[in-house]
Amino acid sequence: MRGRPTPEVVLAVEGFYDGPESGYANFRGLPHYFEVVEEIEKRGRTHRRFRLLPAPQELLRLVLEQHQLWSRWNVKYRKDEIPEEFPYMERVLPEDLERYRALGSLAEGLRQQVYGEAFVANGRFFGGRRVTQYHAFGENLRVVWSHIRSAA
């Protein structure tokens, strides 16, 4: 007999279009990077399949620190304290830009390394109540992974 899938914690969402496309979430209780690999239309609804790659704690630390810097920008943006035009693409305050870019470079280097078995799974995201010190985009979400298979 199979039990109901356990909702997992979403740690941060990086890509979002009509729902999470990439980011970090727990899978089987451990942090993983997720990214859309396929979208399937079924009965008028879009179902997304994701590749799940293990994310070491150091990578997660870098990503969450980046989200803290974004959060500082977002607070000011929501208060209309940010100019309309910025001379750069990143959504961070000018004083945080250098650190934000450095964190991004370090994170990208770590993300390119293989840390364990990769999986492919359907992901169903829904709202939760989680908020952390990082105020990462999407951290209040939960996800249920289903139809799991090895990516190998």
Q: Is the pLDDT of residue 117 over 80?
A: yes
pLDDT 10s digits, 24-64:
999 999 999 999 999 988 888 888 999 999 999 999 999 99
Residue 2: what pLDDT? 63
Model pLDDT, residue 150 = 93
Q: Is a pLDDT exceeding 80 seen at residue 122?
A: yes
Tens digits of residue pLDDT in 64-112: 999 999 999 999 988 999 887 878 889 999 999 999 999 999 999 998 8
At residue 128, does pLDDT exceed 70? yes
Q: Which residue, 20, 35, 26, is CA-closest to 6?
A: 26
Decide if 89 contacts 103 (C-beta within 8 A).
no
Check pLDDT > 50 for residue 1: no
- Cα–Cα distance measured from residue 140 to residue 152, given in angstroms and rounded to the nearest whole number: 31
Q: Which two tokens stand for residue 69?
A: 């810097």
State the Rg of the chain over Cα. 17
